[in-house]
Amino acid sequence: MHKNVLLGLVAAALLTGCNAARVVAPLDAGEWRMGGALGGPQINTGRLPLISVYTAHGATEKRTDYVGLQVVSAAFQTLHLDAGSLRRIGAGGGMGSWKPEVNAFGGGTLLVGLRDGATRVYPNAGFHTVWTLPLGFKPYAGTDLWVDPTYRLAEFNQGTLLHPNLHGGLRWIWKHLEAGVEAKWLNPTRTFMVPQQTVPTFMGTGARGLYFTLAYRIP
Amino acid sequence: MTRYLNPLRTAVAAAAATALLLTSTSCDVDLALLSGSPEPYNFPAGDPSDPYYVEPANIHQMDLQSLADAANNVPAATLKGLYVGNPADIATDTVLLYLHGNANSMNAFWNALRQMANLGGHHRYGVMCYDYRGFGNSEGPSTGTASMRQDLHAALQWLKDRGLTSDRLVVFGNSLGTLPGAQEAGEQGGPLKINKLVLECPQSNSDAFFQDAVGLSVPSSLATDYAFDVDGNMARYPGALLWMHGMDDDVAPIDNAKNLYAAHQGRFKRAHLLAGVGHNVRGGWGAQAWGDAILDFVARVD
């Protein structure tokens, strides 16, 4: 990696949707889940080690609320929080069925720079389609749409209102643990430019992210 | 274990850890943007048959004293500088001051420097270069606009002390070097005024630089306190401008840089927008064409 990888690191931390899904299916009612995610977009031939932590709470059988903190951004003097709520909108066909459970989520990301108080809020919404397999495995796929309400503040009118992401992954949920891996196609509507770095694309646009998650379940 | 992971207790601990992280760390991407590496300097004279051959007696290395700027928390520092030419002729020569790009040290720019010295004739021009704080063997680190300003002023003072006047000074900024070069051209607060400025593959401003990497309307202050503004400085700069930029530049996008050229309303400007050329303008365009463009600019504005 070249020395400008530091720029890539912080840029990636703030990149649209640059995180694994906090939860993909509602938790049990009353359950808490606390965990972290490690991973990020590919820069050159390596992957940036972004770290975030989160907690989620099963408010009801169908709804789970979550909040997360991007640790790398905090190291750069930026408070970077995400929060949202996930709700089951379509029941799946059960164990081994091809009919997936469908869960919608909505929330937002808050960025507050401690250098000058600069603040940005980016609402987002999307859904996960989740299948249930034996032994606690849950493959899933979905999309996540970020909204940039302040896109007109971008330099040279280069901002855009909508920033989509596509993702797919696998969660393994056991008695006290949840582990997962998620691949993400970050913002296929644009090209990212990190000086003196190469940001590999998928089909010529966006960026490619890979994340690992681990969480502890508290009934 | 569950009783130790009480959600409320964990949330409080997480908040405390976050507060500690926010208040105890001060990472800044300028650590990466503004840092080179120490290395032995190597400025070979070359073969006498080489068109860019320089006389060994005309290769001078010196220390520059970059002054403190207490108001901006910039301490004094000793920089390493290079002069190609006879320092005794500075009182009468035209001098090109080369502000180098992001590399370990000025070693990486030696071929450009020795070509500049020989533009239009053997050792026709004096050429000066120096390593910013944190680059090469200069003391460091560079920390942003204030430290870069002090370093440039140190070089200008060294030239002024040997008799250079503003009318014989040409400042050449390459990539990273366009940031202090444009800043001084806009401010005109140094020992010598800048009336002739060359910007080679310049950046535009720190917000655009950061937004290209992130994709959102985020300000650069979320990652750095190095708030450079080449566009704004070009709007204030009254002198002559030569802009050279590869149209395939994937480090400093040409579409962003077009704004600084449009903003410049000084006495003269010329642009070379080069199809098929990336961030390495001299290598992509060809050394001969690159040198001819600089020579033409210096002659025209004189």
pLDDT of the residue at A39: 84
- Using only the alpha carbons of chain B, give its radius of gyration: 21
Residue of A nearest to B27 (CA): A76
Burial B193-225 (b: 16+ CB within 10 A, else e): bbbbbbbbbbbbbbbbbbbbbbbbbbbbbbbbb
- Residue A194 touches partner B, C-beta closer than 8 Å: yes
ipTM (interface pTM): 0.81
Kindly report, residue by residue over B4-58, the tens digit of the pLDDT. Answer: 556 666 666 666 666 555 555 555 656 666 778 899 999 999 899 999 999 999 9
Parallel, antiparallel or unpaired: strands A50-58 and A63-70: antiparallel
pLDDT, residue A74, reads: 83
Report the range of poorest mean pLDDT among A141-145, A194-198, B116-120.
Answer: A194-198
At position B86, the amino acid (one-letter code) is N
Please give the CATH architecture assigned to the domain spanning A5-218.
Beta Barrel (2.40)
Q: For B217, name the nearest residue in chain A, comparing CA atoms only.
A: A154
Confidence of residue B224 (pLDDT cuts 50, 70, 90): confident
Q: What is the CA radius of gyration of chain A?
A: 17
Q: Please indicate whether residue A33 or residue A51 has the higher confidence score (pLDDT).
A: A33
Please answer whether residues A49 and A63 qualify as being in contact, where contact means their C-beta atoms are separated by less than 8 angstroms. no
Q: Where are the beta strands (DSSP E) in A14-160?
A: 32-43, 46-47, 50-58, 63-70, 78-90, 101-113, 119-130, 137-147
Q: Quick check: A7 contacting B, CB < 8 Å?
A: yes
Place of tokens 């409320």: B8
H or E stretch covering B80 = strand B77-84
Sign of CA dihedral B9, B15, B18, B22: negative
B interface mutation test: which of A1, A2, A5, A7 has the most B CBs within 10 A?
A: A7
Q: Where are the domains positioned within chain B?
A: 28-301
For chain A, first and last CA: distance in Å? Answer: 43
Listed range (A14-23, A79-88, B172-181, B184-193) with the worst mean pLDDT? A14-23
Q: Strand B169-174 and strand B95-99: pairing?
A: parallel
Using an 8 Å CB-CB cutoff, list chain B residues near A69.
14, 18
A187 and A161 in contact (C-beta within 8 Å)? no
Q: List pLDDT tens digits, range B131-148.
A: 999 999 999 889 889 999
Is the minimum CB–CB distance between A178 and chain B shorter than 8 Å? no
What chain B residue is nearest to A77 in terms of C-alpha separation? B22
Q: What is the DSSP letter of A205?
A: B
CA distances (Å), origin A53, targets A50, B33, B220:
10, 28, 24
pTM for the predicted model, two decimal places: 0.83
Contact A55 B28 (CB under 8 A): no
| Fold type of domain B28-301 | Rossmann fold (3.40.50)
Residues of A in contact with B259 (CB under 8 A): 156
| Closest Cβ opposite residue A10 in set B219, B223, B252 | B223
User: Best of B5, B104, B216 to disrupt the A interface by mutation (most A CBs within 10 Å)?
Assistant: B216
Average pLDDT, whole number, for chain A?
Answer: 88
